[in-house]
Chain A
Amino acid sequence: MNATQHPADKPLVQVKSLVKHFRLPGGWLSGGPRILHAIDDVSLEIYPGQVLGLVGESGCGKTTLGRCILRLVEPTDGQILFEDQNLLALKGDALRRLRQQMQIVFQSPLSSLSPRFRVFDVVAEPLQTHSNLRRHELEATVLGLLEQVGLGQQHLDRYPHELSGGQCQRVAVARALALSPRLLVLDEPTSALDVSVQAQIINLLDELQVQRGLTYLFISHDLGVVQHISDRICVMYLGKLVETGPAEAVFDSPLHPYTQALISAISVPDPTVRRQRIVLPGNVPSPVNPPPGCRFHTRCPLAQERCRVEIPALRQVSEGRSAACHLV
């Protein structure tokens, strides 16, 4: 956790005007194929050694964005630069080499681990794919990785169903670290876990980040967790980036009305605190048919005429902080 940001630092990952549309199959009943606007014109930077928290509700495109960065999903338009290499232009061997530098940890630890692989096989697989280690070297490396995530010799021959949710997630982290990547995309890594176990995994991720100087893209809908771990924060709503800035500043004085509502909705485990919750009316509109103008205007308590027609651009408001709202 390193809150100081050096603007002089070159970003590790640059996402430029990224667009991802999914074509939904549709028969004659639903009136032909429809387009789901998962990500629309999103730009962001991830700086080396930092944790970028990506927050938003379900369906806002945060997971798709994470997957685009790893090219698990092909973007429709836009650019992604990893250091100076254009990720979207890479093919074959070059892409495979670059992929060693970035790994992902998924939300559900049980479904992201093959039930037929033992813990050893799970963690050894990336090493076998990308390097030619001898058997005893492989064993030593795998054991070393497991020890780093708080597991040990006794877990090597277990199958995922024999482990608890927290232990499975530790194995997933060990697998992600196997090739010493520089970027880890963490897609809701603690959502499936209980509070006490969640705390263990967050502490582990924190430690690893400091020890190995890792860069995280931490995707979550849980603002409490994001606030705890992130240096900078990006807030997404319905495929658009609505606010970015240093974590502390965003949580202290959110600019965008959506961020304000999100932050006011965090429940505080203290009965003496009576906070004014901003309750947004209605539901998130469908990304198949997003509202014109500002996508948030259907629920925004401050919406004006202009918001209904004109799309607000993400503008820099102060040093390191931007928001996409006509009223900011």
Chain B
Amino acid sequence: MEPLLRVENLQIEFRTLRGILKPLCGISFDVQRGQVFGLVGETGCGKTLTGLSVLRLVPKPGRIIAGHILLEGQDLLVKSESEMQQIRGCQISMIFQDPSSSLNPVFTVGSQIVRVIRQHQHSTEDQARERAVEVLGAVGLPDAQRLMASYPHELSGGMQQRVMMAMALSCEPALLIADEPTTALDVTIKAQILDLLQSLRNRLNLTILLITHDLGVIAETCDCLAVLYAGHMVEIGSTADIFAAPLHPYTKGLMSASPHRANRGQPLAAIRGTVPSNPGTLVGCPFESRCGLAFDRCRVDKPPLFQNGKAHQSACWLQSAGGEQ
């Protein structure tokens, strides 16, 4: 079956006065219809940039220098700007980490949602308002009529994030990109939002690209995931496979570095060192400098993705013996 979203060998380059940075060095993945696909990694690994490039919103001076992004088989990178306008918000929507800075403080919640709806659909003001009230109800906000007239600052963080989701879903997009949707929220509110994402997905058969640094969130919500490190994809596969048997040393490191019940009282298995600053210039494996298992080949050759099992791949030379390229 054709995937809803296919990202192929995506590469991004930033030309700055200090030289050329390459924060994404070839990312490829498929998101199937109805799936929740997770992108996980630490700060600066390129996960948000991947999300933005699907909407063609890579900030300047960044440019997509290679690759394809196919939505239902159509390459988004060859679309004109006005065609993209129609796709954003209508076929693909995105919600961001900080809801308070994504909403416009000087317009009411209602007028912001109505505007999105009227931008994309031929509807009257009244029809759009009706639809807005409906989606506000769908994301679990009580008293939607009154909410339409309130300003973002009158709402709590959790409610703002729900408004963002209502806005994103108002034109029934095929794909929702959720960039760290729960990171800025408190524990109990985070639980509410995760619950909502799950129920929306079941109810609307929504496809979600979930970007997060939190492995716990991934384990609870995603069907498949890709692990990014310094602009490279180091592992991809189903959530069950990866959590049962992570292949890449970085994925293993991430899993054992987070504190939980099982490792209470023992030192955490920290990953030494820090992320390389310009991964585009590396010749070997991007994780080589922090990897406890690195050997000679890792320093000179970049490992490709090796197949291990049906849909589980990892980019590590240690897999080259067992798997096939």
Interface residues of A (CB under 8 A from B): 1, 3, 57-58, 164, 166, 194-200, 202-203, 206-207, 221, 223-225, 227-229, 248, 251, 261-262, 264-273, 277-280, 283-284, 299
Contacts and interface: CB of A to CB of B under 8 A. Distances in A.
B263 A279 contact: no
A160 to B, nearest CB: 15
Given A265-B188, A267-B220, A271-B220, 4 more contacts: A194-B213, A196-B254, A262-B188, A265-B191
B188 A227 contact: no
Most chain A CB within a 10 A radius of its CB, from B159, B191, B192: B191
B265 A268 contact: no
B187 A228 contact: no
Contacts of B159: 283
Contacts of B260: 224, 227-228, 266, 268-269
Contacts of A224: 216, 258-260
B26 to A, nearest CB: 23
A269 B265 contact: no
Most chain A CB within a 10 A radius of its CB, from B156, B159, B215, B270: B270
A1 B190 CA distance: 30
A193 B61 CA distance: 27
A250 B322 CA distance: 45
Nearest to A1: B265
Interface size band for B:
35 or more
B301 interface: no
Contacts of B243: 269-272
B259 A203 contact: no
B274 A198 contact: no
A200 B270 contact: yes
A138 B268 CA distance: 33
Contacts of A202: 259, 268, 270
B240 interface: yes
A3 to B, nearest CB: 8
Of all A-B residue pairs in the complex, the 5 with the closest CB atoms, nearest first, are A267-B216, A228-B259, A199-B270, A196-B271, A199-B257
A57 B187 contact: yes
Given A1-B265, A196-B254, A199-B271, A268 B219 contact: yes
Nearest to A197: B274
Contacts, number: 125
B30 interface: no
B110 to A, nearest CB: 20
B219 A269 contact: yes
Contacts of B195: 277, 279
B258 A199 contact: yes
B218 to A, nearest CB: 7
Contact of B191 (A228, A269, A273, A279): A279
A289 B268 CA distance: 41
A227 B188 CA distance: 17
Contacts of A272: 240, 243-244
A269 B270 contact: no
A251 B269 CA distance: 22
B42 interface: yes
A154 to B, nearest CB: 14
Most chain B CB within a 10 A radius of its CB, from A194, A229, A277: A194
Given A196-B254, A196-B270, A200-B270, A267 B259 contact: no
Nearest to B191: A265
B122 interface: no
A265 B261 contact: no
Given A267-B219, A277-B191, A164 B274 contact: yes
A279 B192 contact: yes
B93 to A, nearest CB: 24
